[in-house]
Structure 1
Amino acid sequence: MATRILKRSGVSDEMCERLKRHQIESCKDLLSLTPIEVMHAAGLSYQKTLGLLQSVSKAIAPPITTALEMWKQQSNSCFSTSLPALDKLLRGGLPCGTITEVTGPSGCGKTQMCMMLSVLATMPKSEGGLDSSVIYIDTESAFSAERLVEIAKSRFPNYFNCKERVMQMAGRVLLFRELTCHDVLQRLERLEEDIISTSAGLIILDSVASVVRKEFDTTLPGILMQRSNLLSHEATILKYLAHQFNIPVVLTNQITTHVGGQGSASSAEVDSGFVTAALGNTWSHCVNTRLIVQYVTTQQRQILIAKSPVAPFAVLNYTIQKQGICIDGNDSQETLYRGTDPGLQPIRVRTEFSYNLNRSAD
């Protein structure tokens, strides 16, 4: 990938330092220059400059992979969610090397899911974890360290039965609060070094839509294209990192009203449209697996597998407890989806609230 630093592309430390003095640090910086410009910056002959450019180009070119190689790697290519019913449908869990999106209305447990996965990733492989650190990018200031510890102690009480293990787990979840599109993009572009230096095995971006929807007014001319270009760039970086390190990448997304379409019957539908995942069709094709969380009642919720290369369209009921997401029973309900794009699956939102209006006597 072009944003890879030169040192990771086989260029010597001495040459990297020489090029750095000319603000040439990534493969993109180098390959954007003419051979003459590189020759002067590197202090090489013309023929050696061509050799340098060719070796860097080969280093970032996508490798050829056969179906047989992918098949052999399949057994170690899933990350368990600790939800057996969901793992069974996904044939092992969240696929490594790809992007999984969790989308749904506020309060449905998207961040709870992310924290639950973060805890699990830090645990030993013998316990179903990845024995790795976690890079957690928070764009909504929704992360809670107290809730992370509560989930760990409640969900895995036998493992987190001592303070030392809890402290070790919390120390392996690396939190980055990035509150603008520019900051998120810069963080993603530096993420390769962070993954290597911290031995990260899971990347979480919670949420991909938050800063984008605040900064881009798509009613203005040309803004939709700019937003699409930014999202495509972010998706390209994340896909590269997922594939390069064979790790799962988990994103959360928000909801929006899809106007002028025909969805299946749903309590969220109105005459002019229905609620669906935000960021549009182009973005929906950037994610490999899409899980939708939605309301059934004020207490009960559902996980829908709306898009997956291996799983059927299915529905699982769940509640949010002290230990995080809890699936109701072990059975799933497979549903025939009537539509052209499962990414446009209608989403149920909370439409009413119950309040206790009784007051105690003064």
Structure 2
Amino acid sequence: MGGSTLQAERPYENTTPAAAQFDMNVDDTMVNVSELQKLGVNAADIAKLVEAGISTAGMVCKVPLKVLLAIKGFSEAKVEKIRSSARKLTGGTSHPFRTGTEVREQRKRCIKITTGAKTFDAILGGGVESGSITEAYGEFRTGKTQLSHTLAVTCQLGFDQGGGQGKCIYLDTEGNFRPERIEKIADRFGLDADATLDNIIVARAYASDQQCELLKPLAALIAEHGPFRMLIIDSIIALFRVDYSGRGELSERQQKLGQHLSALTRLAEDMNIAVFLVNQCTADPGAMSLFAPVVKPVGGNVLAHASCTRIHLKKGRENCRVAKVVDSPSMPEAEAQFAITDGGIADE
């Protein structure tokens, strides 16, 4: 990772407590599955786990049993042996029951990544949170992709600047990623453009099944080539809407989407990265409004339940946009105005 990118100084002050005092990478659940070999698991079985997208001991403990049993050559007895070894490696951190104090200590690992606008950060409690899924939905030209590009840069800032001091993975499903946009945003924050782009890993998906497959190598990528602080998918639903367009396919679409979101949730929690999802919206004919058409996010309850924090982006006057927190476990409903500038998302 380019040192100039992560250490560049810029007068952007983060008003949230500095996360730098905590070692963000200390987590027993992130032990590489290769360590299982020391406990008697053979190398061939470990290779099969990695191929299935299971690259840490924590993931071995958390993935559904049927996922492990679906791996060729894995019997129930073998799976139990592997899981038992994984539990030993995690030192009990994967135990399902913890005290509230332990959860509070775990939450101290959480990183808040600035959106680029202090008013926007304020309604999010400091920024986009690591370890969970944040979803932003809205009509076209409301700033969804601009916010994505800004976060891809700000996650590389130092902790004291509101960043995560790490890299970004950008899954582009609509062909919207623009390196030249990243360059301008990097310049605003005083970062080297080339180093900033080198710290963004981009993958283009053209079908929903390919989008799902792209998640499999991510855990290994994050563990081996980190630190990564942000995973962006722009957008989460576009390819699913194309591949499952018939009314009779809705149930299958939601099932596949649910599995995809479950994998994203595990990835966010196990790797302590912020997962940021761009979502589309559609008109809500059942809702009434005197001033503007009412829209609702696509994806139904499956996506609504998976998203920890949900943001509705709306158009304002001229270049102004409005962000509204509509769902969050820790923050109340609130709105903030922001602007889209040459340097990305910023205060008005």
Q: TM-score, normalised by structure 1?
A: 0.74
SS of residue matched to 1:285: helix
- State whether structure 2 residue 292 is matched by structure 1 residue 267: yes
Query: Do the aligned partners of residues 21 and 306 (structure 1) sit closer, same or farther apart at CA in structure 2, a change above 3 Å counting?
Result: closer
2:328 to 308, 322, 339: 308
- The answer to whether the 8 A contact 1:151-1:323 is kept is yes
**Does 1:233 find its partner at 2:259?**
yes
Q: Which has the higher contact order (CA 8 A, sep 6+)?
A: 2
* Alpha-carbon shift at residue 123 of structure 1 (Å): 2.2
Matches within 5 A, 1:319-330: 319-328=339-348
The equivalent of 1:55 in structure 2 is 84
CA distance in 1, matches of 2:135, 2:79: 42
CA contact under 8 A between 2:171 and 2:232: conserved in structure 1? yes
Please state whether the residue corresponding to 2:326 is helix, strand or coil: strand
Shift of 1:119: 0.7
Runs of 4 or more, structure 1, over 6 Å off, are 20-24
Q: 1:266 to 1:213 in 2, by over 3 A?
A: farther
Secondary structure of the corresponding residue to residue 330 of structure 2? coil
State the shift of 1:107 in Å: 1.6
Deviation readout 1:165-214 (Å, 9 max, x if unpaired) = 32211110111111111111001122111111221111111110111111
Distance 2:267 2:258 in 1: 14
Paired letter, 1:7 = V
Judged with a 3 Å threshold, the aligned counterparts in structure 2 of structure 1 residues 210 and 30 are, in CA distance, closer, same or farther, namely closer
The share of aligned pairs that are identical, in percent, is 24
CA contact (8 A) 1:30 1:38 kept: no
**Which residue number corresponds to residue 174 of structure 1?**
201
C-alpha change, 1:196 and 1:302, in structure 2 (3 Å) is same
Distance 1:69 1:263 in 2: 45
1:18, CA displacement in angstroms?
A: 3.4
- Residue matched to 1:216: 244
Gaps of 5+ in 1: 40-45, 269-273, 329-362
Change (3 A) 1:196 1:266: farther
The one of 166, 169, 187 equivalent to 2:214 is 187
Equivalent residues of 1:123, 1:169 under 8 A apart:
no
Count of paired positions: 302
The structural deviation recorded for 1:128 is 2.6
Note the alpha carbon deviations across 1:222-266, whole angstroms, 9 max, x for none. Answer: x1111111111111111101111222110100011223x335544
**Does the aligned pair in 1 maintain the 2:36–2:86 contact within 8 Å?**
no
Deviation at 1:13, TM superposition (A): 9.8
What is the one-letter code of the residue matched to 1:307? D
Unaligned runs of 5+ in 2: 1-29, 53-59
Which of the numbers 268, 272, 280 marks the counterpart of 1:254? 280
Q: CA RMSD in A?
A: 3.2
When residues 137 and 21 of structure 1 are mapped into structure 2, their CA distance, relative to the original with a 3 A threshold, is: closer
SS in 1 for 2:295: strand
Task: State the match for 1:7 in structure 2.
Answer: 33
> How far, CA to CA, are the matches of 1:21 and 1:279 in structure 2?
34
1:325 match: secondary structure: strand
Q: Secondary structure at the match of 1:106?
A: coil
- Determine the C-alpha separation between the residues in 2 that align with 1:133 and 1:80: 12
The answer on whether the counterparts of 2:132 and 2:265 sit within 8 Å (CA) in structure 1 is yes
CA distance in 1, matches of 2:224, 2:79: 31
The one-letter code sitting in structure 1 at the alignment partner of 2:101 is L
1:69 aligns to 2:102 (yes or no): yes
In structure 2, distance between residues paired with 1:118 and 1:318: 18
Residues 1:13 and 1:52: Cα distance change in structure 2 (over 3 Å): closer
- Structure-2-length-normalised TM-score: 0.76
In 2, Cα distance between the equivalents of 1:6 and 1:76? 19
Q: Residue 173 of structure 2 contacts residue 206 of structure 2 at CA under 8 Å; is this kept in 1?
A: yes
Aligned position for 1:32? 69
Aligned to 1:147: 181
Q: Which residue of the partner structure matches residue 201 of structure 1?
A: 229
CA offsets, 1:113-164, max 9 Å, x none? 111111111223243321211111101110000010111112x1xx33xxxx
Following superposition, the deviation at residue 54 of structure 1 comes to 4.9
Moved more, 126-135 or 168-177: 126-135
Q: Distance in 2 between matches of 1:171 and 1:239?
A: 26
* Counterpart Cα distance in 2 of 1:50 and 1:101: 34
SS at the partner of 1:122? coil
1:338-353 alignment to 2 at 5 Å? none
Q: Which amino acid aligns with 1:118?
A: A
